[in-house]
Amino acid sequence: MLLEQFETFWARDTGIIRSRLAQVEAALKAPHAIIISGLRRVGKSTLLAQMAHRLGNEAFYYLNFEDDRFLGFQVADFNDLFLMLAELFGDRRIFLIDEIQNIAGWEKFVRRFMDQGYKFLITGSNASLLDRELGTLLTGRYLSVELFPFSFYEYIRFKKEEIPDSLKMTSIDQARLQRNLGDYLRFGGIPDALKYPELPLLRSLFDDVLYRDIAARYRLEAVDSLKQLGLFIMSNPGGVTSYNKLKQMLHLGSVNTISSFIEYMENCWLIFPINVYDYSIKRQQIAPKKIYCIDTGLSNEIGFHFSPDSGKLLENLVFLTLRKNNPEIFYYNTLAGYEVDFYLPDKRQLVQVSQQLDNPATRDREVRALQDALASLPVENALLLNDKNDEAFELNGVPVAVLSTAEWLLDQEYSK
């Protein structure tokens, strides 16, 4: 089994180089375990394989605990497993391990071998397990790398199209970029779903997360309610909703149940709830949330939509891009009742997303929301994203950049 796993892993198609590979490679220099975590099927094993090919096939051991032949494996069996690895492959100092969370107590093995100077690169699909338990059991001796579905940059490369130079972009380039953005909003960035569009992979992914990663792990009985909640969120990406309304809609007896269900889905990287920004932490917690989904293609495939809401999908996409590099993201309601899509307190930046600003009423509304927010928040700059670049301007002395969302998405990749 170990020989077969290694040979299959080494021979797998490594696809396009993921942007996170540079982060993994840099982290390898530190004496920490590297945890690659994220939703099922976003390409964690492929990223691990890309790192393996940087190391060479004589530098590491490989284990995949998603393999059903590991059923019944206990933490006490790790010693025998290591002896077999050493017998088969000789002395190697790096472990590459897929889906390690399937083995209870795995942290003890990792910690013991880290103390002996071994390096670990590990993938897993459960945020709660990896972040909370690692923080306690490895006492901070790990670095976390979150892997998301393909970014817009990676999506274009997956399609084998040329990335346009923003300084030399023609009208044809801009039109092609907008077409690619529309396709990306529709199909999303789950690698296998893009590779095999004829298969219902997004639906099976959604079911796997709900039934295997959540219902089975937490021994839930209200599985139908869990699924109805997931379907509602997928149907309303970026929607503002209160947990109490969700409780009433699903006829559940407790808001705590809704809160737990949402936490479970967040821990598996299926959704991301954010709070309204308020100087009162209590008001942040009790106010309605905005909930985004991990992939716009998943939202399109799973959710109920009478017509495509590309504006909300665009906002969802901007959120995912911001989420990769910002520890705190909020939305904001102004005193006059306007909503600003995102506030980043660390950068003191406001971000507003609109499909187009050609309509004067639309532009006035978006600008008024930013202007109202400036009266209440410490802001150093603002960003107004839409379908094309335009001249920057100032509001109350604060610079406001007006940028093409498509070009901004690519710039975020270049700036890493």
CB 96 within 8 A of CB 62: yes
What's the rounded Cα separation, in Å, for the pair 305 and 313?
12
One-letter identity of residue 42? V
Superfamily, domain 2-146: P-loop containing nucleotide triphosphate hydrolases (3.40.50.300)
Report the phi/psi class of residue 151: left, alpha or beta, with left for phi > 0 and alpha for psi in -120 to 50. beta
Tell me the two tokens of residue 60: 């590491």
Domain ranges of the chain: 2-146, 191-414
Question: 72 CB contacts (<8 Å, ≥6 apart)?
Answer: none
Beta strands 289-293 and 271-274 are antiparallel
Strands of the sheet with 94-98, listed across from one edge: 60-64, 94-98, 119-124, 33-37, 142-146
pLDDT in tens, the chain (416 residues): 999 999 999 999 999 999 999 999 999 999 999 999 899 999 999 999 999 999 999 999 999 999 999 999 999 999 999 999 999 999 999 999 998 888 888 888 999 999 999 999 999 876 655 555 666 677 778 898 999 999 999 999 999 999 988 888 899 999 999 999 999 999 999 999 999 999 999 999 999 999 998 999 899 999 999 999 999 999 999 999 999 999 999 888 899 999 999 999 999 999 999 999 999 999 999 999 999 999 999 999 999 865 567 899 999 999 999 999 898 999 999 999 999 999 999 999 999 999 999 999 999 999 999 999 999 999 999 999 999 999 999 999 999 999 999 999 999 986 55
